[in-house]
């Protein structure tokens, strides 16, 4: 990232967007190390935009068993990084958070983080069987409509699209 900024003479042509998993962000140490170095002249990249895809399960581990603090995003608190926490089931809220993140970064050239809290419908990596290790959570998840279905229903009820529009996209 920093090399690209140097090549472009710190122009506004480069945005540093980093996507993290909820267990990896605090657990692997690289995020904390990068934040620690981020204000040093030779490492500064005028802020990064971090997005945590927080499915509340670090592979097969409950959050209470994989970190000493409540939320995976909490490691940014010593660095005065704003945290926007959003429910992934609310698509419009996720979009608003992304827009706010970009406006913040453009104005202040500082790190900002979105903690997108939700779940993966088919488990940690979309191929495992999550009910082996998270039976209660996944019993509830499997009783819920999928994200595309619930969002389509919302758009139909608001008169933004019709059933035919939704079916055309699905086809």
Q: How far is Cα 38 from Cα 32, in angstroms, rounded to an integer?
A: 10
Q: Which of 6, 19, 71, 72 is nearest to 45 (CA)?
A: 6
Q: How far is Cα 70 from Cα 54, in angstroms, rounded to an integer?
A: 13
Interhelix angle 163-170/147-157, nearest 10 degrees: 150
pLDDT of residue 35: 84
Q: How far is Cα 40 from Cα 46, in angstroms, rounded to an integer?
A: 11
pLDDT of residue 160: 96
Q: How far is Cα 72 from Cα 158, in angstroms, rounded to an integer?
A: 35
* Model pTM score: 0.80
The b/e string for 83-104 (b: 16+ C-beta within 10 A; e otherwise) is ebebebeebeebeebbeebeeb
Q: How far is Cα 5 from Cα 39, in angstroms, rounded to an integer?
A: 15
- Sketch the domain layout of the chain as residue ranges: 2-118
pLDDT of residue 24: 80
Q: What is the pLDDT along the chain (171 residues), one digit of tens a residue?
A: 556 666 766 556 677 888 888 888 887 777 888 888 888 887 777 888 999 988 877 666 666 777 777 888 998 998 999 999 999 999 999 999 999 999 999 999 899 999 999 887 776 666 777 788 788 888 998 899 988 999 999 999 999 999 999 999 999
84 in Cβ contact with 158 (< 8 Å): no
Which 8-state DSSP code applies to residue 77? G
Burial degree of 161 (CB within 10 A; 0-12, 13-18, 19+): middle
Tell me if residue 113 falls in helix, strand or coil: strand
Tell me the CB-side half-sphere exposure of residue 22, using CA atoms within 13 A: 29
pLDDT of residue 20: 87
Measured in whole angstroms, how far is the alpha carbon of residue 3 from the centre of its chain? 25
């Amino acid at each position: 990232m920093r090399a690209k900024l140097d090549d472009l003479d710190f122009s506004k042509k480069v945005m540093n967007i980093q996507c993290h998993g909820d267990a990896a962000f605090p657990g692997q140490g690289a995020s904390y190390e990068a934040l620690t170095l981020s204000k040093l002249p030779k490492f500064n990249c005028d802020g990064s935009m971090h997005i945590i895809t927080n499915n509340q399960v670090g592979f097969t581990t409950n959050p209470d068993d994989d970190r000493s603090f409540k939320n995976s995003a909490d490691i940014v608190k010593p660095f005065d990084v704003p945290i926007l926490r959003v429910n992934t089931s609310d698509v419009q809220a996720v979009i608003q958070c992304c827009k706010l993140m970009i406006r913040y970064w453009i104005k202040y050239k500082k790190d900002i983080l979105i903690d997108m809290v939700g779940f993966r419908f088919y488990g940690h990596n979309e191929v495992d069987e999550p009910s082996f290790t998270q039976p209660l959570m996944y019993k509830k998840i499997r009783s819920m409509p999928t994200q595309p279905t619930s969002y389509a229903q919302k758009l139909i009820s608001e008169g933004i699209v019709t059933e035919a529009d939704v079916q055309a996209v699905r086809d």
